[in-house]
Structure 1
Amino acid sequence: MSQSITQPTVSPNDRANDRFIGEFVQETLALTTRLFIQLRRRPSSLAAGVIQPLMWLVLFGALFYKAPEGLLGGGISYGKFLAPGVIVFTAFSGALNAGLPVMFDREFGFLNRLLVAPLSSRFSIVAASTIYIISLALIQTATIVVASALLGAGLPGIGGLGAIAAIVFAIVFGVTALSLGLAFALPGHVELIAVIFVTNLPLLFASTALAPLDFMADWLQIVASLNPLTYAIEPIRYIYTHADWTLGSSAMQTAWGSLSFGTAMLVLVGFDTLVVVLVQPLLRRRFA
């Protein structure tokens, strides 16, 4: 006795959603490929982004090479102390510059062509820039980790390397979103470069990248405890100094007490969420 097999029906809304997702992915990949083609034609930007942190590692490591033993606590060398700071600051600097290509596209008129093109979503422009910057940050991070291992800082295990990648992703995602928002909000690249110059080094020195928290003045300890870079640097530093780290480990000190590894990660996720919530309305108005 034959039985009829009922084929599952696909609603028009499901087909439209599938088509939208497919087109969005295709547009994002195409725009991301364009950025990597530009990088291939001008590889000096990537080379500079790798050479500069290596110089930081070598020069600052040599500057404090003869620092008294036990100065940083736990017998840690300054090279091992410095490596996490260089990793995070390099990723932060690249993410802070994420808005420059978009700003130049604005000024040269290419962005206007994209905005009038029949894109399924103009947010593919933002997604492509984010993927591009995160990819560069991970390449730079891998280079610094290898270089710092060769310079004596050691090499974390597989789990530690994965956690470092996740932390770098978190800080880069939020700062990239902020930079892209500024690229659409500011009138030109001169203003954006001014914001980058004013923000870059102060946030470095107001973090624990170069010195521990207890070395700082009381007011600077409060500023460093509010700095998102500190919440990325300290967990990575804990990975370098503790092979048995867990999410519940007390990974960092702040002006108001110690925080666990997992709490620091939650702070970074909260920072990313806050930036996206603030930037999204601006992008919607600009894209409209």
Structure 2
Amino acid sequence: MSTTITPSKPASEQQIATTQPNLFGEFLQETLAMTRRLFIQLQRRPSTLVAGIVQPLMWLILFGALFQNAPQGLFGNQVNYGQFLGAGVIVFTAFGGALNAGLPVMFDREFGFLNRLLVAPLASRFSIVMASAIFITTLSLIQTAAIIAMSAFLGSGLPSAIGLALVALIVLLLVVAVTALSLGLAFALPGHIELLAVIFVTNLPLLFASTALVPLSFMPTWLQVVATLNPLSYAIEPIRYLYLHPDWNLGSVIMHAPFGNVTLGGALLILVGLCAIALISVQPLMKRRLA
């Protein structure tokens, strides 16, 4: 009786077969590890999160009280200033947090930790950037939830479940776009002083040149043009419309701009385009800096 012996693979071939890298799994593991590092830093310094929640709530309460005696009809029929202001506070809180996204990366650059990451055997160095984006997006959504809850407590009401999901989508698109630009600045600028200067110079002009604090019709003509060129207005107005109009649809007119009417669907397309442009524009810079 004869037996058939099948030749076994050489040891080197078996080793290669068993050590094939799972690039996606390694990228995911690296991203989660670096994201966890950022949350551990937040856990050690919780004042950052507390301040990020308390400040917009103070805006909501104090600004709402400051303009509660504004002329009737200035912000729309049967709309108080607290209801009008909520969308602006949501957007500018998310915008401010995303604008600061580059600071942790910049400090890692200055303290030498980023160099250690760059020489480490990472599956993809984009996990460094992805971790920062996930961290900032999570914080922005937490802040947004706190503002929505406080607005409801102060009597501003709540959108429908689909409306809340659309608010989260708008915030997400804005945060991803601004986070990409902030991370690009973190790799392009020489130090954190320059990055802080850009943040300080950018914040207030974009706040006052948008529809966050007053309606478009209240502004002079030249400022109306500037506000309609401000991308933040296309995040503020959809959220405001979702709050004030329960019967919304994508064809609803949310803003009467000097160049024409802007619909809810049109504003969403503008935000998607802004997000795509930001991601595409910073990609070559990040590839060069992470190489």
Shorter-chain TM range is over 0.9
The aligned residue for residue 268 of structure 1 is 271
Whole-angstrom CA distance in 2 between matches of 1:57 and 1:106: 36
Structure-2 residue corresponding to 1:128: 131
The equivalent of 1:80 in structure 2 is: 83
CA apart distance, 1:253: 2.4
SS of the aligned residue for 2:144 comes to: helix
1:69 alignment partner, SS class:
coil
Q: What is the rounded CA distance, in whole Å, between the counterparts of 1:254 and 1:188 in structure 2?
A: 39
Residue by residue over 1:78-101, the C-alpha shift from the partner in whole angstroms, topping out at 9 and shown as x without a partner, is: 100000000000000000000000
Per the TM alignment, residue 252 of structure 1 is displaced from its structure 2 partner at its CA by: 2.1
CA distance in 2, matches of 1:230, 1:255: 14
One-letter identity of the residue aligned with 1:172: V
Residues 25-45 of structure 1: CA deviation (Å, up to 9, x unaligned) = 111111000000000000000
**Given the alignment, which residue of 126, 139, 150 partners 1:147?**
150
Aligned partner of residue 250 in structure 2, secondary structure: coil
Corresponding residue of 2:186:
183
Q: CA deviation at 1:71?
A: 1.4
> Structure 1 regions of 5+ residues with no counterpart?
1-11
Identity among equivalent pairs (%): 67
How many residues matched?
Answer: 274
2:107 to 98, 104, 113: 104
Give, in whole Å, the separation in 2 of the partners of 1:231 and 1:68: 26
Task: Read off the aligned partner of 2:283 and give its amino acid letter.
Answer: Q
Give the match for residue 117 of structure 2: 114
Matching residue of 1:71: 74
* Residue 214 (structure 1) shift: 1.0
Runs of 5+ in structure 2 lacking a partner? Answer: 1-15
- Per-residue displacement from partner, 1:168-220 (whole Å, max 9, x unpaired)? 00000000000000000000000000000000111011100000111111111
- Segment drifting more, 28-37 vs 251-260: 251-260
Q: Decide which of 28, 35, 44 is 1:25's aligned counterpart.
A: 28
Q: Which moved more, 1:163-172 or 1:211-220?
A: 211-220
The 2-side partners of 1:265 and 1:180 are apart by 23
Are 1:174 and 2:177 matched, yes or no? Answer: yes
Q: What is the CA distance between 1:70 and its match in structure 2?
A: 1.1
Matched, 1:165 2:168: yes
Q: 1:199 aligns with which of 179, 199, 202?
A: 202
- For the pair 1:239 / 2:248, whether they are aligned, the reply is no
Distance 1:21 1:255 in 2: 48
Measure how far apart 1:223 and its partner are: 1.1
Of 43, 46, 55, which residue of structure 1 is paired with 2:46? 43
Deviation for aligned residue 1:74:
2.2
- AA in 2 matched with 1:235: P
